[in-house]
Structure formats: C-alpha cells, structure tokens
Structure 1
Amino acid sequence: MQPSAAASDPAPATALAPQYDERLTAPRSWWLMAALVGVSGALIMLPLGTLPMLGGLILAGALAAMAVSSYGSARIRVVAGSLVAGDARIPVSALGEPEVLDAEEARAWRTHKADTRAFMLLRGYVPEAVRVEVVDPADPTPYLYLSSRDPKALAAALTAVRGREQA
C-alpha cells in the first residue's frame, strides 16, 4: 500500500493548524461565586431536611457551574484562513488591519464609540481587545471587537494570514 499524496505533503496539515487559539475562560472568582450559589441553594432547602438540602446544593451548584462554564467557553481562533470568534466565522480576506486596544481604548469601544451593528465578543473580565474593520462591502458589520488576553498575538496572527493570502 502506497502512502497518499496528502499524507506525504505537510502543507495541508499546516494550513489547517490554528495560527492562534484562545479560550476566554471565566476567572476563578466566578467559580467561587458558583460554589456559593450552591451553598445558598442548600441553605434555602435546609428547613425541609437533609435530603432536600443536599438536592438544593447539587441542583443550585450545578446550574451555577453550567452558567459560568458556558459563558467562559468563548473561543477565538485563526484557522484555515478564517477568524472564528464564538459562533461567528469570517474569512481573513474580508478583514482589514487589526488594531490592538489597551484597557482604556477597549473600554471606549465597548461604550461610547460602539456601533450597534458591530460583532462584539466581549468579556468584562478581559480588559484588552482587538478591533478589526470588516472590508467586505456585502457585510453590514462595520467591525469586530474581540476581547483577548493576548491582543498582540491575535493581531499578529491575523496580519500573517492576510499577508500569506495576499501574496
């Protein structure tokens, strides 16, 4: 059996490997609050007995943990010539130059400079962000606002992929 051309050619594997991958996980303090919600569920059920108290602890704790986990599962990736941010996927060729925002500038773009048509993947516990103009004339979205713990690396990955596609 001979190896296929795809198996011997490393280019397709590197094209599909993510150039940038970040998960915006919730901070530890939020997990502590989820545990305290579980304790409060137990205290609410305490007058009804031990078994309902344990049920309240498990149910309230599980619901709070699911809420924290789902909110903290946002992911930003640059993979296969596309930017994948949360549920959105856009080709890097439809994006302009990325702009790295420090904490103060990011806050301004989240508040008084924000456009209601923009796609915003923001997390309040992540102070820095990247803003990228959408240059596709068919797309009504003016820009993407992406909270990032490493905005320089995200901007560098977007710039590198754009440079490869334009070359």
Structure 2
Amino acid sequence: MRSRSAVATTSTYQERWTVPWWGWLGAVAVALLLAAEIHLGYGGLRSWLPYVVFVPLALVAVAALSRITVAVTDDELHLDDAHIPRRFLLAAEALSGDARRDALGPELDPVAFVVHRPWVQGLVRVYLDDPDDPTPYWIFSSRDPEALLAALDLPLPAPE
C-alpha cells in the first residue's frame, strides 16, 4: 500500500511587516514614562513594580504588531490570518501619493478588508470577484508592491 504525501504549495512571494527601530524605542519610552509617573507615588520595593510590568508589556505589544505577514502561494493570497483563493482575485494595483490617501480616506468602501500599517509605505488594492463575499476589495500595506503585483500576476483594474 502506498502512502499519499501532502502536496506542498510553494510561496511565490512573502513579506513580514516588522516595526522599525524607532517604534520599539517609542514604545519603551512611553512605558518608562508611565512607570516613572506611578513610581513617584509609591515608595519602597513596590515603586519598581510598574517598570517590571509596563516595559515587557510594551515590548510584547510591539512584537505583536510585527507578526503580520503577506504571502502569495500557488493557490491563495494570505494576509495575516485571512486568506482568499486566487481564483477570486480580479485585478490589482499599487497605490502611492494622492491615490494612496484617497484610497484610505474618501474613496474607502465601508465593507473593504483593510490591513494598513503606517510604517509600511507601499499600498496595494486587490479587487475580488467572490459571489459569496460582499467584500469588493482588499487594501493592505506592502513593503514591495511591485514584487507583490508580479507574484499575483493580475491585470490592472479597468479605468472608471
């Protein structure tokens, strides 16, 4: 009897949105200021407790912000925990400048799927055609939008 092995899907593109060094520094600075404020109100050993609590908590929070990944496989587009089969992807475009601002502001559809981080400058919008899902498009940050679009291999959206 032959055993069946799982078919591995290959990733054609993958990126991780890590927080830059200044984000880590800012989080620690805020935690230290908050701990110092509480420290001033207490004496003795318990005055150091806020430092023990707030600094690691700030580091865990920033690490959680650094866990988001974007991946394109042969079959799906993955964005953090969300994924969609590539057969439902219609078109894709990279946005920058005024188009980026408008896409995240006045043009944003209320039912769109948005995952944006301000420290990641690129932005990609992928239009969907899923009859069971009312989401018109996904809009998300990307460190290298052109490489992501090349991996998706989708046409540009039709001009309106």
TM range (shorter): 0.7 to 0.9
Residue among 108, 117, 120 paired with 1:123? 117
Q: Deviations over 1:41-65 (max 9, x none)?
A: 4312244235324321121111112
Correspondence 1:109 to 2:103: yes
> Distance in 2 between the 1:80 and 1:128 partners?
23
Matched letter for residue 35 of structure 2: A
Aligned residues: 153
Q: What is the TM-score normalised by the length of structure 1?
A: 0.80
What is the SS of the residue equivalent to 1:84? strand
**When you count helix as a share of all residues, which structure comes out higher?**
1
Unaligned runs of 5+ in 2: 156-160
Where does residue 77 of structure 2 map in the other structure?
83
Percent identity between the aligned chains? Answer: 37
2:57 aligns with: 63
Structure-2-length-normalised TM-score: 0.84
146-155 or 80-89, which moves further after superposition? 80-89
Question: Residue 102 of structure 1: CA displacement?
Answer: 1.7
1:141 Cα offset (Å): 0.3
1:24 and 2:28 correspond: no
Which consecutive segments of 4 or more residues in structure 1 shift more than 4 A? 3-7
Calculate the aligned-residue CA RMSD, in Å.
2.3
Query: SS of the counterpart of 2:16?
Result: strand
Q: Secondary structure at the match of 2:69?
A: strand
CA deviations 1:106-138 (Å, max 9, x no partner) are 221000110010001111222221111001222
Select the structure with the greater relative contact order (CA < 8 A; seq sep ≥ 6).
2
The alignment partner of 2:120 has SS state of coil
Which moved further from structure 2: 62-71 or 109-118?
62-71
Greater CA drift, 145-154 or 123-132: 123-132
Structure 2 vs 1, CA of residues 63 and 5 (structure 1 numbering), >3 Å: closer, same or farther? closer
2:28 is aligned to 35
The alignment partner of 2:127 has SS state of strand
- Three-state SS of the structure 2 residue aligned to 1:48 is coil
